[in-house]
Amino acid sequence: MEIKLPGYFKIVVLLLGVILLVYFLQLFQSILVPLAFSLLFALLLLPLNRDLEKFKVPRPLAILTSIILIVVVLGLVIWFLMSQLMDLTTELDTISGNIERLIERVQVFLKERFGIEPSNRTELIQNSISSLQNLATNVMGSTISMTTGLLAAFTVIPIYVFCLLYYRDHLERFLFKLVAKDKRGGMIQTLTNIQQVVQSYISGLMIVIVIVAMLNSAGLLLLGVKYAIFFGVFASILTIIPYIGILIGSLLPALLTLATTGHLFDALLVIGVFVVVQFLEGNFITPYVVGSKVSINPFAAILALLLGGQIWGAAGMIMAIPVIAMLKVIFDSYEPLEPLGFLLSDIDDVKPRHLKKEGRVHQFFREIWNGVARGKKDTEE
């Protein structure tokens, strides 16, 4: 006999489940965060591993080759950023002197225009320089801590990625055993859609980062900003945190330019470069590269960023968009949850499927998965 529960009881149970889920995510953060990133990297490397295996490369060797490739690329990027950051810290004394002269000019301006005279100019200057030195110390400490965390992740995440790729067939059969036979077709389609979404997002994001890094660096070089390539690459990497990353990436070179030149207009020009690049990235580069297979409305994306940051910090903000995209695919594939998928979608995403444009990266992965599906069908026949 089916037991019917009142609506308010279901809502209470749902809220308790969400609270327990958040508590679980925070409690086991040290385990779940590397596992989540490993899953993203495994989905990204899956097509490369399939291609290597087609050429009769043993699966363990194919996995090791792809992992070594991505570790080398990430290692070179981190080495470049760290070397540039160390060079930047050597100029803190010069920057402090520039800030001292800038403060004096501001005080003279305030006195001449408004008659405001500071009570103790020397104390103000010393406090400003001390604050700058404390900020530099905190940045260095955070950098060392982050580097230690990255080194620890480099030892754990590759192991997770290797296991996920090596046992992928075993995991697929495990999922089959959890689902009834008449629903396995829908499950396969849902998993395929999730793989397409994650792969297109990550691959497209990497291409976008490279393009944005070149545009940022070119604009800063034209303005004569010191460490232009460093700030251009750093700001492009921060685009993995939508909306907020570009703000952080533009403030650092703008403040350095203000401290170096002492002219507010130069700092505004630096910010203008990032604003123009951000406009091109949001309206032309990302839609062309990634396409609009699954588009999340900005309001849902901002909420996801805030929730991800509250649960997992910076790692949660990075994971927020891929996770909410996967949730949207799951919601769209399960009829009772379709309203939630509609709520997360952007206005353009409700158009008929044949009217949607696909990015080049998504087309590439769609052809790969169609080929894999045909190969499986031929094997079964």
pLDDT in tens, 73-125: 888 888 888 888 777 777 666 666 666 666 677 667 676 777 666 655 555 55
| Residue 348: φ, ψ to 5° | -70, -20
367 or 356, higher pLDDT: 367
| Residue 296: φ, ψ to 5° | -100, 135
Res 140 pLDDT > 60: no
| Residue 279: φ, ψ to 5° | -65, -45
> Predicted confidence band at 322 (pLDDT cuts at 50, 70, 90)?
confident
Res 320 pLDDT > 80: yes
- 359, 200 contact by CB (below 8 A): yes
Residue type, 213: A
Q: How many CB atoms lie within 10 A of CB 108?
A: 11
pLDDT value for 352:
43
> Predicted confidence band at 281 (pLDDT cuts at 50, 70, 90)?
confident
Q: How many H helices and E strands in the chain?
A: 15, 0
**What is the spatial distance between Cα 348 and Cα 327, in angstroms, rounded to a whole number?**
18
CA-to-CA dists, residue 41 to 52, 91, 210, 370, 373, angstroms: 17, 37, 18, 21, 22
> Predicted confidence band at 205 (pLDDT cuts at 50, 70, 90)?
confident
pLDDT value for 354:
38
Q: How far is CA 261 from the centre of its chain?
A: 33
If phi over 0 gives left and psi between -120 and 50 gives alpha, with beta otherwise, what is residue 334? Answer: beta
pLDDT digits (tens, 9 = 90+) for 213-243: 999 999 999 988 888 888 888 888 887 776 6
Torsion angle (degrees, nearest 10) of CA 247, 84, 218, 239: -30
134 or 144, higher pLDDT: 134
Percentage of the chain modeled with pLDDT above 90? 7
Residue type, 75: G
